[in-house]
Structure 1
Amino acid sequence: MKGSDSKIAIVSLVVLSIWIFVALPLIYSPEPTTDHLLRFAPLFTPVVASVAAIIAVAAISAQKSIARKRAAIDFFLKTDLDHNMLEAYADFEKALKSFKAHTAGGRDIKTFIDDPETEKDYKKILRYLNVHELVAVGIKNNIFDEGVCYNFWSDAMVRHVRETRPVIEYEIEDGGSDALFLELRTLSARWSVQIANWNRNFGNGRSVKTV
């Protein structure tokens, strides 16, 4: 349960406790208090109903939060256990190494794409970037819990986006749309700042380059 949900639930329980342990005893206490408080008895019904509604909303919110966490964990279990996902990751890392060697030699990205020997590597890089984009879209649409995703996925995502930045920029320019990998770029930029802050405050002082 998130902090805001916990606060709502606590406040709701406090109000409900006041109603049960304070208001009700006063209402049904002996004269003269009873006559005075009975006039306000009709007001307590909507109050209790409102408290119950708040508790219900908090419970639903908590269940949604748990569902998002489970969805994220299920997805990452698949990335670590599914043969196809493991193969896609291995292919990506191998293709990325080939791409970095290519560009380190002073050759541009277009020759990497047009070369029959490296064209498949380029497609493997794009395929795994789409996996990262899927995670980012899932977080944006509240399908995945961002906290779980950050703890498990942030280092890999930020590094991959940083190292494939020329590929992403080429795809944006070639495709003519700034929306390509938009959620991935946005999330990676945010996470890179969080990682840098963590390293500065709790780590070994190293900072992470932002995208």
Structure 2
Amino acid sequence: MILETAAKFAPIATALIALVASCIALSAIRAQRDIARRRAAIDFFLKTEMDDTVVKLYKRFKQLSPTIKELLAKPDLTNTQEYHDIRAFLNICELIAVGINEGAFSERVSLAYWGDVLPMSYRDAEPLIKQIRSTPGEGTALTYADLEKLCKKWTTKEVPTGITRIECPPMA
């Protein structure tokens, strides 16, 4: 009698076990995906910090950003080294924003590390970005669109504490 009752519930028990197993598998896949995104973000940011060219572009951008309005008045703006240096740094920022917006990079890790740099860079370069978008051959309405979208989203968030960006003194 007990075996007959158990036999009636066997298909239900099998289905429940399969459901639990699939939930565990799905959870493991999501955890691995999240770990991969965090690793990708950290790996990319570590490489940018180790790359002298990127570090120099960041420093050059910080140096040039207060002068963007004056640069916009130049008739030959697109032929200047300043313009190309700013664009090169903004392109890196856009690449990071695309990675975050498309889910290749962990947004949490990226916000903790670049949460101050990306919005500041976008804000400082916004007049230039608008000009680039309106200049045929230089850009379109979608130029730096991912950077803009991300920065608008991040300006409403509080940047996590715990990471302090400091300027290291130049090596002697």
The TM tier, using the shorter chain, reads 0.7 to 0.9
CA contact (8 A) 1:133 1:183 kept: yes
| Greater RCO structure (CA 8 Å; 6+ sep) | 2
SS of the residue corresponding to residue 141 of structure 2 reads: coil
Q: Which residue of 1 aligns with 2:87?
A: 126
Q: TM-score, normalised by structure 2?
A: 0.82
SS of the residue corresponding to residue 138 of structure 1 reads: helix
Deviation at 1:82, TM superposition (A): 1.8
The whole-number CA distance in structure 1 between the counterparts of 2:64 and 2:71 is 16
CA contact (8 A) 1:95 1:122 kept: no
CA separation of 1:69 and 1:115: change in aligned 2, threshold 3 A: closer
CA separation of 1:108 and 1:73: change in aligned 2, threshold 3 A: closer
SS of the residue corresponding to residue 155 of structure 2 reads: helix
Q: Which residue of 2 aligns with 1:15?
A: none
The equivalent position to 1:181 in structure 2, one of 138, 144, 154, is 144
The equivalent position to 1:56 in structure 2, one of 6, 12, 25, is 25
Q: Which residue of 2 aligns with 1:172?
A: 133
Offset from partner CA, 1:81-108 (integer Å, 9 cap, x none): 22222122122222224x24xx3xxx57
Where in structure 2 are there 5+ consecutive unaligned residues? 161-172
State percent identity of aligned pairs.
33
Where in structure 1 are there 5+ consecutive unaligned residues? 1-31, 199-211
The whole-number CA distance in structure 1 between the counterparts of 2:13 and 2:151 is 50
The equivalent position to 1:194 in structure 2, one of 157, 163, 166, is 157
The whole-number CA distance in structure 1 between the counterparts of 2:132 and 2:2 is 76
Q: TM-score, normalised by structure 1?
A: 0.68
CA separation of 1:123 and 1:192: change in aligned 2, threshold 3 A: same
Q: Which residue of 2 aligns with 1:109?
A: 72
Runs of 4 or more consecutive aligned structure 1 residues displaced over 3 Å after TM superposition: 32-35
Q: Which has the larger radius of gyration?
A: 1
The structure richer in helix per residue is 1
The whole-number CA distance in structure 1 between the counterparts of 2:33 and 2:154 is 23
